[in-house]
Amino acid sequence: MRHLLSAADLSLDDALLVLDTATELATVTDRSVKKLPTLRGRTVVNLFFEDSTRTRISFEVAAKRLSADVINFAAKGSSVSKGESLKDTALTLEAMGADAVVVRHHASGAPHRLATAGWIGGSVVNAGDGTHEHPTQALLDAYTLRRHLRGGSGDLAGLRVAIVGDILHSRVARSNVLLLRTLGAEVTLVAPPTLMPFGVETWPCATGFDLDDALDGLDAVMMLRVQAERMHAAYFPSTAEYSRRYGIDARRLALMPEHAIVLHPGPMNRGMEISADVADSERAVMVEQVANGVSVRMAVLYLLLGGQKEGSP
């Protein structure tokens, strides 16, 4: 595979290869010298047209641990803010010899355009496009679920996961539904009717509107951020009403089996989709998700850039 644009690009074997490679590469993080020479001489460009904290830093750390050269290209402060098009930006990157372009864009489909228009020769990795997809987030979530609930190997057959909240504006939800299904998990989306996407009945998952009803028997719950910046209408009456019906708090945590864990892609709205005590509880794995993100992104860059040909970890 040359690009990673959608979680749907990954077959079960591909997904397991990424997760297994990430498990191997995670051992690098535990060493005192946290570097492998694998991508020495390769250039990875982080092309971010939208704000990001975790994802951009995570890709940067991942590329650097594999000894790649990293160029961070933020749209703010570049000629993009003067109106330079995606095409001209891509041609500039190509002239600089980018082997991989990690792109985040506010328009759904921008990474796909970059990969298929013939403007650049390197690999394109989708780091979040509009409300469409965020495949490396789904991979790091699957990695985290596998580590906690499956002993760190194999698929996720039979695992019961609910994804809760602002599904309508979430690229994390779509990528997770696709990847978790590929890995054999059973996914239920829970949201107010106003935040359920049009056509959701064609997605490979169940849907529900009542969070309390969904919690019994779950292995994990994935809370989504309410994406106020993408909301141009009133989707629910108030924050208090939203968190009362769709937020996770200590009472709801107690309705889940004791082994069940809570995930959130970040950034969290504490007091909205997640209460502070749940966010800080031992069953919430957000900090670990961030650490796992580095290993998974190392694996993606390693596999896409053909690192395995030049010596395995």
Q: Is 104 a catalytic residue?
A: yes
Whether the CB-CB separation of 100 and 304 falls below 8 Å is answered with: yes
Site for ligand ASP in 138-167 (CB under 6 A): none
Q: Restricting to residues 13-32, which ones interact with ligand ASP according to CB under 6 A?
A: none
Walk across the sheet containing 123-129 and list its strands: 69-74, 43-48, 100-105, 123-129
The nearest distance, CB 265 to ligand ASP, in angstroms, is 4
165, 192, 247, 265: residue in contact with ligand ASP (rule CB under 6 A): 265
171 binds ligand ASP (CB under 6 A): yes
Catalytic site residue 225?
Answer: no
Residue 56 in the binding site for ligand ASP (CB under 6 A): no
| Of the candidates 84, 167, 90, 78, the residue with the CA atom closest to the CA atom of residue 131 | 167
Does the active-site annotation cover 283?
no
Known catalytic membership, residue 31:
no
CB-CB neighbours of 50 under 10 Å: 20
Would you call 55 a catalytic residue per the annotation? yes
Q: Is there a contact between 293 and 266 (Cβ–Cβ < 8 Å)?
A: no
Q: Is 225 near ligand ASP (CB under 6 A)?
A: yes
Q: Which residue is nearest to ligand ASP (CB)?
A: 225
**Minimal CA–CA distance to 195: which of 238, 241, 164, 222?**
164
Which residue in 100, 119, 83, 90 sits closest to 5, CA to CA?
100
Q: Active site residue: 43, 55, 136, 182, which one?
A: 55
Q: Tokens standing for 80?
A: 């993009």
> In the set 111, 128, 135, 307, which binds ligand ASP (CB under 6 A)?
128
Active-site positions read 54-55, 82, 104, 134
Q: Which residues bind ligand ASP (CB under 6 A)?
A: 128, 134, 171-172, 225, 227, 265-266
